[in-house]
Structure 1
Amino acid sequence: MSTASDLLAALGARGWSVAVAESLTGGLVTAALVDVPGASSVLRGGVVAYATELKGTLLGVDGGLLDARGAVDPDVARAMASGVRARLGADVGLATTGVAGPDPQDGNPPGTVHVAVCTPDGTTVRSLLLPGDRGEVRARSVDAVLTLAVDLLRADRGESAASAG
């Protein structure tokens, strides 16, 4: 099974729904979930907030935070995950923000990525420096947020990644 399948199965087992907020991945996380048959029973939707100001207007990210730190920041990822969860009425919110490259953004080198998962128990952010070209960074970002979500849901149930699948 794929990580997207694993996530949807784990969410479905709880009766939970998921929503996705994406920046650098531009819809790839949502597409990975939609590729799984039956995704509609769990997936509420996705928001691609590529422009910085849309993170504020669509997802509720604080404008002061965006002005002070820019869009590539772990607290922005945290706010995006929380915002999409609230605005789309989901149990779990996923978020990706970062620099796919080839150029730096706001002083952050290509490959700088922050992914976040917001559940009813709180929000977890993972910050990474991913290798590769633009396409590879984006693909690895999708894997990173889906893996984080699966890991959190398995940990909540006391499962290890090895025993769960």
Structure 2
Amino acid sequence: MVSDDLDKLCEDIAGKASQRRIGVAESLSGGNIAARLSRAPSSGDWFSGGIIAYRPEVKHHLLQVPDGPVVCAAAAEAMVTSSARLLEADLVVAVTGEAGPQSQEDDPGTVWFGTFDGGEVTSSCRLFDGEPAEIVTATITFALTLLHERLQS
């Protein structure tokens, strides 16, 4: 079951997150990554919080995403960099993309992920198949996996 797997992943993140401050910046996932992390054990010790920037205008104004497309590497990187500063976090994951069914900028299922880890910023793109809810679940799973991998290294 997906929910149980995500709960276990969040528990593993919690177990490895000591001495870290973790944050998230979300668009298409609508706060669901933050909600999962906040329910993990001792989250008050390591989870700084999350920023939900659903509309492009919010991404541009609050998270300093450059004018232009918001489903791209530059947007994901600006989202993690600004969120790290605003949340005083040293490990941040950001997601921005198209869940569908209609698209505004890119094909449905296109999701950009950004990570900020102690000042190092990276981004990557994934294309997920399925209905909007399945794309959002895949996005949440991949974002949590990115955090988990960063905590292992």
TM-score scaled to structure 2, two decimals?
0.90
Contact 2:65–2:74 (8 Å) recurs in 1: no
Letter in 1 for 2:44: S
C-alpha separation in 1, matches of 2:13 and 2:64: 25
User: Root-mean-square deviation (CA), in Å?
Assistant: 1.4
Contact 1:16–1:92 (8 Å) recurs in 2: yes
Find the structure with the greater CA-based Rg.
1
C-alpha separation in 2, matches of 1:81 and 1:49: 12
C-alpha separation in 2, matches of 1:74 and 1:10: 28
Contact 1:117–1:145 (8 Å) recurs in 2: no
Residue of structure 2 in register with 1:99 after alignment: 98
State, as a whole percentage, how many aligned pairs show the same letter.
31
C-alpha separation in 2, matches of 1:92 and 1:28: 17
Within a 5 Å distance, the mapping from 1:79-98 to structure 2 comes to: 79-98=78-97
Residue of structure 2 in register with 1:163 after alignment: none
Structure 2 unaligned regions, length at least 5? 1-6
Where do 4+ consecutive residues of structure 1 move more than 6 Å? none
C-alpha separation in 2, matches of 1:93 and 1:51: 20
Structure 1 unaligned regions, length at least 5? 157-165
Residue of structure 1 in register with 2:9 after alignment: 3
Work out which of the residue numbers 107, 118, 125 in structure 1 matches 2:123: 125
Asked if 1:62 corresponds to 2:60, the answer is no
Letter in 1 for 2:130: G
Residue of structure 2 in register with 1:142 after alignment: 140
Contact 2:93–2:146 (8 Å) recurs in 1: no
C-alpha separation in 1, matches of 2:12 and 2:104: 33
Asked if 1:45 corresponds to 2:43, the answer is no
Deviation string 1:82-131 (CA, Å, 9 cap, x unpaired) is: 1101111111111010001101221x111001111101151222210001
Corresponding residue pairs, total: 147
